[in-house]
Amino acid sequence: MTHHTIAVGHIAQILQGARSRGVDVDRVLARADVPPSLLQAPMARVSQAQFAQILRMLRRATRDDFLGMGQHPVPLGAFDHACRLALQQATVGQALRVAFRYYHGVLRDFTARLCVSGERARIVLDSRGPSSCARWYGERSFLFFTLGVSNWLAARRIPILGVDYSSGARSADAHRLFYAPVRYGQPVAGLWLEPRWLALPVVQNEQTLKPFLATAPFDLLVKYQDRTTLTDRIRRLLRNDLSRELPSLAQVSAQLAMTPQTLRRHLREEGQGFQALKDDLRRDVAVEYLGRHDLSLMDIAEHLGFSEPSTFHRAFKKWTGVSPGEYRRNRLVCGPAAR
């Protein structure tokens, strides 16, 4: 299966705090096989594995579990310790409260709280310091990883009702990360969910914690994604054979037993268009294939259904802002031999 790719804008944001502390972020990127020059192409993308590796390398370089996104470093091992505390609780709700109390002592930028009122539960981040772009991105990251750990504790995806961001800066990938409506410029950042999910039992233990920590944060990015969305169903359908002409909207809607109008409406509700979906899939597969040394650019063009390498070249540059040859050369420069 081909995973969604991640916009380099997220990388630029997550590096801000580390850069301000004097960390050699170019070296961090190179160790994750991401060419620093790629950040100059606003439309460029990286694989989820590359993004996860950036987080690992950034943690090592900053000596900070919060990756330099706060005013003060969070001690290394804080995330591991919070997970161990959570494991000792009976339910997801109890686990979150214990973990949040622990983070209150080590994370000075905001305080995480779990509030339940009637039919709604809310995870709230109360600010404890001045606003900054790095802090805003830190809030978003904390919410995402809180949801990811909750999913892992319960061994299932926990659906949420909505996401609040305290900054007004919009993120094209936010809906796909949370699979819920996102509101920007809110008084506080937070997540909304139904209280019943907080009663889910914690099913993980010390034996499952070790492999979880070894693969985090990559598992949090991919393991409990919602694969029931129409967008992902269509991506799986189209991914079967990209080398031939992709089916039309009418053909796909017939395969899914719905009218073209219904399919288009559901995609719109997910913030997606049919042509954009096809382009995004080809782009994501191209990024995946360009990391494989056994495929030439001509091979990749054929696998993606392009009649000529030049057509693939133009399409990839339109999608990402860089040519496929340049993207591959930069990855080679950042490969193991360059480290």
How is residue 284 written in tokens?
A: 């994501």
Q: Which of 94-98, 186-190, 215-219 has the highest mean pLDDT?
A: 94-98
Q: What is the pLDDT of residue 13?
A: 87
Q: Residue-wise over 147-184: b if at least 16 C-beta within 10 A, else e? A: bbbbbbbbeebbebeebbbbbeeebeebbbbbbbebee
Q: What is the pLDDT of residue 176?
A: 67
Question: What distances in angstroms separate CA 267 from CA 6, 136, 304, 314, 330, one per listed residue?
Answer: 20, 29, 23, 27, 35
Q: Which residues pair with 192 in a beta bridge?
A: 122, 162
Q: Which residues pair with 111 in a beta bridge?
A: 126
Going by pLDDT thresholds of 50, 70 and 90, the confidence category of residue 47 is confident
What 3-state DSSP class applies to 282?
Answer: helix
Average pLDDT on 96-119 reads 96
Average pLDDT on 42-70 reads 89
What pLDDT, in 10s, does the model give residues 290-306? 988 899 999 999 999 99
Residue 313 CA to residue 301 CA, distance in Å, equals 8
Q: Is the pLDDT of residue 104 over 70?
A: yes
Question: What distances in angstroms separate CA 132 from CA 19, 65, 164, 332, one per listed residue?
Answer: 14, 18, 17, 35
Residue 251 CA to residue 257 CA, distance in Å, equals 10
**Cα dihedral 239, 279, 2, 16 in deg (nearest 10):** -170
Residue 261 CA to residue 275 CA, distance in Å, equals 14
Q: What is the pLDDT of residue 172?
A: 63
Q: Is the pLDDT of residue 336 over 50?
A: no
Length of the chain: 339
Within 13 Å, how many C-alpha atoms sit on residue 128's CB side? 16
Residue 122 CA to residue 162 CA, distance in Å, equals 9
Average pLDDT on 144-170 reads 89
Average pLDDT on 240-261 reads 90
How is residue 92 written in tokens?
A: 């997801």
SS3 content of the chain, % helix, strand, coil (to 5): 55, 10, 35
- pTM reported for the whole predicted model: 0.74
Q: Comparing C-alpha atoms, which of 164, 150, 286 is closest to residue 224?
A: 150
Residue 224 CA to residue 65 CA, distance in Å, equals 22
What spatial distance separates the first Cα and last Cα of the chain, rounded to whole Å? Answer: 29
Average pLDDT on 94-109 reads 97
Q: What is the pLDDT of residue 29?
A: 92
Region for residue 75 given its phi and psi (left: phi exceeds 0; alpha: psi -120 to 50; beta: otherwise)? beta
CATH architecture of 230-338: Orthogonal Bundle (1.10)
The answer to whether residues 136 and 123 touch, using CB atoms and an 8 Å cutoff, is: no
Query: Hey, where are the domains in the chain?
Result: 76-222, 230-338
